[in-house]
Amino acid sequence: MEMPEVMRRRRAELGLSQADLAAAAGVDKRQIRRYEAGEQQPLLSVAVAIAAALKISVGDLAGIPSHEINLAGDWWASWQTFVSGEEIITAQEVRFHQEASLIRVETLTRGIDVEGGGYHWSGELRLWDNEVLMGWYAARDGGTRSKGTLYFYLHPHGLRMTGRWVGLSYDGEIVTGYGAVAKSEAEVRELIAIQKEAGTRVP
């Protein structure tokens, strides 16, 4: 894909007008029009500013194919967690927003009710070599203190991921458990069960 098309498509995805993009990148609106029409190519410093405004890399802006797996979209996440010493397996819908190797994660559902320990959270993951995802999470609900780290092994075709979380529990203790992400609730619950039985990641 050529740069003009990348600019037009990405700007549309973000809901930006040419004037919005021009203001965010610090260039004249007429220049954005010329770039998108293929009449001119931006200088490197301008391309960097436009890419930042579009939340993509300069390589993406230039139309250079990325070799990273695209994990953007809606998933199911399941967690082995504990409340008052009792194990609970939760499952909740999450959304991945990917910009190159950086993935922002936000929950769409709590998984379980507030009384049972459910809460909304957000975080970030970094994709390494299309194989490992490492990052953090933090509760978005005001009264919930939970926060911690995430480590996942990614299936070679990006179909699922399995791993562990380590974090601060609601009562202040550091706790850990298995985690899994896949495209259906049934699959993530099965992945947690497999990990518990095997004591290792799922191949």
Q: Residue 129: is it exposed, middle or buried by C-beta count within 10 angstroms (0-12/13-18/19+)?
A: exposed
Asked if the model's pLDDT at residue 87 lies above 90, the reply is no
Q: Which fold has domain 3-61?
A: 434 Repressor (Amino-terminal Domain) (1.10.260)
Task: Note the Cα 21 to chain centre separation in Å.
Answer: 23
Position 203 scores a pLDDT of 46
Position 66 scores a pLDDT of 66
Report, as an integer, the average pLDDT of 85-97. 91
Asked if the model's pLDDT at residue 158 lies above 80, the reply is yes
- Two tokens at 32? 């954005």
Position 142 scores a pLDDT of 76
Cross-strand pairs, 179: 79, 163
Domain spans in the chain, listed from the N-terminal domain onward: 3-61, 73-198
Q: Which fold has domain 73-198?
A: Lipocalin (2.40.128)
CB 71, CB 158: distance < 8 Å: yes
What percentage of the chain has pLDDT greater than the value 90? 65
Phi first, then psi: give them for residue 58, nearest 5 degrees: -65, -35
Position 117 scores a pLDDT of 72
Q: Cα separation of 95 and 112, whole Å?
A: 17
Task: Note the Cα 39 to chain centre separation in Å.
Answer: 35
pLDDT tens per residue, range 105-141: 999 999 888 777 788 999 999 999 899 999 999 999 8
Question: At 200, is the pLDDT very low, low, confident or very high (cuts 50, 70, 90)?
Answer: low
CB 106, CB 122: distance < 8 Å: yes
CB 13, CB 27: distance < 8 Å: no
Three-state DSSP class for residue 175: strand
pLDDT tens per residue, range 54-84: 988 888 898 876 667 889 999 999 999 877 7
pLDDT tens per residue, range 24-48: 999 999 999 999 999 999 999 999 9
Q: Give the DSSP H/E element, type plus range, for residue 147.
A: strand 147-154
